[in-house]
Amino acid sequence: MKLSENNKKSLLVSIHQLIEEYASHTANDLEYKRTKRLINYPSNGGLTEAEKLELGQLEINPTLKSALRKVLASNSAGVFFSFLNIIDGTADPNIEFGEWGEVMLVDFDEENEMDSMLHDDFYGTYWDWKEKRPNPGWKLDLLDE
């Protein structure tokens, strides 16, 4: 069974909506200096006091806010596009992270009942990524190496 056209369109349009909403919320949080709301990844992520101070110095005007929304949305769209390429089998994940066999996104069927959910494991697998990632000179979490 494959993914129906209705489900495919609903999924993809919903992704576009989420990209726009998240970009807008983040730009609003920056504008109103709500730095505690900016970081939810990884689970122990956050901003250092120096980072909060720098972000607090941003003077968000309508043009900068528009630019921030576009940059944030473009970044999110790039991640989704790459993820969809992996699901479609037109790209492969990095094999250094584990074995990979192709997957399919299909319509739900009672016979294909799921026993685990990807979103449940997403945040926890950050630590697997952290062990394997090269050190680019910065980090997402607040733990000292």
Indicate whether 144 belongs to any domain.
no
**C-alpha–C-alpha distance, residues 25 and 37, integer Å:** 9
Q: What is the DSSP string of 91-140?
A: S---GGGS-----------GGG--SS-HHHHHGGGHHHHHHHS---S--S
Indicate whether 40 belongs to any domain.
yes
Indicate whether 137 belongs to any domain.
no
The mean pLDDT of 134-139, rounded to a whole number, is 82
Indicate whether 142 belongs to any domain.
no
Indicate whether 139 belongs to any domain.
no
Instruction: Please say whether the beta carbons of 47 and 35 come within 8 A.
Output: yes
Indicate whether 84 belongs to any domain.
yes
Indicate whether 121 belongs to any domain.
yes
In the chain, the number of structural domains is 1
pTM confidence score: 0.87
pLDDT in tens, 52-77: 999 999 999 999 999 999 999 999 99
85: domain range? Answer: 5-132
Residue type, 130: K
pLDDT in tens, 29-50: 999 999 988 999 998 888 999 9
